[in-house]
Amino acid sequence: MTGGDKKGTDLSNRLKRPTKPSSRSSKAPSPSSILAPPKAAIAAGKDKKEDLQRRKNPFNEMLRSRSNKDASSSSPSTPEERQNKQELEQQHKRSTSKVSIEDIQDVRAADRIAELERALAVAREEQNAMREELEKVRQHGVLTRETIEDYRRQLSETYSTSPRPHSPRTHSTRPNSTHMDYEQTSPRRSLTKTREDLIEQNYSLRGKLAELQEQLESQESSHYQSRSDTASFRGDSEWNELTARLHNTEKESQERLHQLLSLKHSISSLTRTTSQVTDAELAERLQQLSYLIREWVISNFRRTKLDFSNVSSDTAKALEVINPRYINIDPTDRLALYQALISSALMRIFRENFIIGLPDTGPLAPIRQLAAYIHNTGSDYREWRRNTIRSLERSEARQQLQVERDNLLHKMAGEIGHRLFTLTSINLSPSAQTSLLGILNTAADLQHALLVQKAQYQVHFFRNQDDGRDVYFDEERMDAINDFDNGLDEDGDVFTERKFSFCVFPCLEKFGDEWGEKIDVRNVLLKARVCSGAG
């Protein structure tokens, strides 16, 4: 047998041998194990490596044992034969090493083929899975088309029936759930990217449409609101302008009326030999005084708020004189309450029975004491009082009386300003103080005119009694400034009963005739201005 035949025989025997159990143990390791050996193999010593090489080449051991047996059975007789045998052994070793290398390569190729077969099987399984996924994708595509058609149909119906569409994500849960299942199960998003883009575009377009509808509605509402605000602002500005014009007109009319009354008073004083004036003139002067007070309060306290938290004891007493239950006064009646404070303070002037500024001490004090003794003598007392006043005004005591009067009026003006400050926290300006002092002088002049008349006059300021008895509303002597349709229904019948709250300005009454006779006859020249409520 030649070396080539022997080599082919050994190769064929080697290829048939892996079916046996003994040949399995001699199979060379896979390339993966050779390229990346385990840590235990790396940590092993040289003996284990030699054993591994022996296990790799069992065929060499078999040949080596056979050659040893042949050598032992037939020992060479001559040196030439020994040399030939050595050459044959060397050739045999070379061929054996070549065969072992080829066997190792064949084993590696077989392992590689097995690995490729396994990879092919895995690829086929993945291909089948991909086919199933592709089928699912097709089904999802059909559902997506149906969903898009439904959305388009719903969108067209929404446009035709409602001006404001709802959010597209609240119409149906089926497309959303299908889309979520697809996102969870599909590993190939690139295949359905177009369909997803269509769905997202549909959602975004519907969302933008809803936002545009909301913006349009908000713009319309803001436009209407701005128009209404502009109209209300114009209405308020026009109302304020009309109020200011009315205020200025009333002020101008008051000034002209005051000038007219002053002119009448000067003319009557020049043409008459006596100091007697008519009832109408006295009523006009008192009414003019009420207008001055109202005008002054509105000019200085129109924008204030009523606050009883910081009132002093003096202010509290003054308010209790007006109304013992002043805490219950409606804040909307604050201007009327401010006028009532001034009118109540003026009653100190109108209660003077002799002359304004007459001192309580000094040489003029006995005059007041004498007047207190004889004030019940009727017309004789009034005649004596009139003559005494004229005498004092023409005497040297006139300057002292004027100084006392000015001091009294300045003191009263300070008290009134302090009371109003505790209620409103507003300090009076110098011009407001001057105007208030002018009002007090007007009241003092009016009281002086009443004291020198032959007839008997009384300025009456209505107050609730301290014992809890209320003052009833008297239509003959009172006029309500907060009149609610005069308390009448459509037929003119009284359907509510007014309840007296507090007096704003006093009334003027006359007792008797022009000469002070017939005192039992009473005549109301000017009704009191009161603040009332529904009874």
Number of H helices, E strands in the chain: 16, 6
pLDDT for position 145:
79
Q: Which tokens sit at 453?
A: 């008349």
- Comparing CA positions, the residue from 407, 320, 415 lying closest to residue 359 is 407
Tens digits of pLDDT across the chain (535 residues): 444 444 444 544 544 444 444 444 444 444 444 444 454 444 444 444 445 444 545 555 555 655 555 554 445 556 777 777 777 777 777 776 666 777 787 888 888 898 888 888 888 888 888 888 888 888 877 887 787 777 778 777 765 554 444 444 444 444 444 444 444 444 445 556 666 777 777 777 877 778 777 777 777 777 667 666 666 666 777 888 888 888 888 888 878 887 787 777 666 555 544 567 888 999 999 999 999 999 999 999 988 888 888 888 888 999 988 988 888 888 888 899 999 999 999 999 999 888 888 888 888 888 888 888 887 777 788 888 888 888 888 888 888 889 999 999 999 999 999 999 998 888 899 999 999 999 999 999 999 999 888 888 999 999 876 555 677 888 889 999 876 555 555 555 554 677 888 999 999 999 877 766 677 778 899 999 998 876 5
pLDDT for position 465:
63
Say what the pTM is.
Answer: 0.49
- CA–CA distance, 251 with 245 (Å, rounded to integer): 10
* CA-only gyration radius of the chain, Å: 63
Do residues 306 and 334 touch, judged by C-beta distance below 8 A?
A: yes
Do residues 288 and 261 touch, judged by C-beta distance below 8 A?
A: yes
Do residues 447 and 356 touch, judged by C-beta distance below 8 A?
A: yes
pLDDT for position 307:
80
- CA–CA distance, 13 with 99 (Å, rounded to integer): 12
Burial of 286 (0-12, 13-18, 19+ CB in 10 A): buried
pLDDT for position 409:
94
- The residues, ordered by sequence, that sit 6+ positions from 534 with a Cβ below 8 Å of its Cβ are 484, 496, 497, 498, 499
Do residues 438 and 277 touch, judged by C-beta distance below 8 A?
A: no
Other beta carbons less than 10 A from residue 381's beta carbon? 16
Burial of 339 (0-12, 13-18, 19+ CB in 10 A): buried
Length of the chain: 535
Q: Which tokens sit at 198?
A: 């269509």
Let me know the angle formed at the C-alpha of 469 by 320 and 487, rounded to the nearest 5 degrees.
90
pLDDT for position 86:
78
SS3 content of the chain, % helix, strand, coil (to 5): 70, 5, 25
Phi, psi of 360 (to 5 degrees): -90, -10
Do residues 525 and 282 touch, judged by C-beta distance below 8 A?
A: yes
Phi, psi of 467 (to 5 degrees): -85, 10
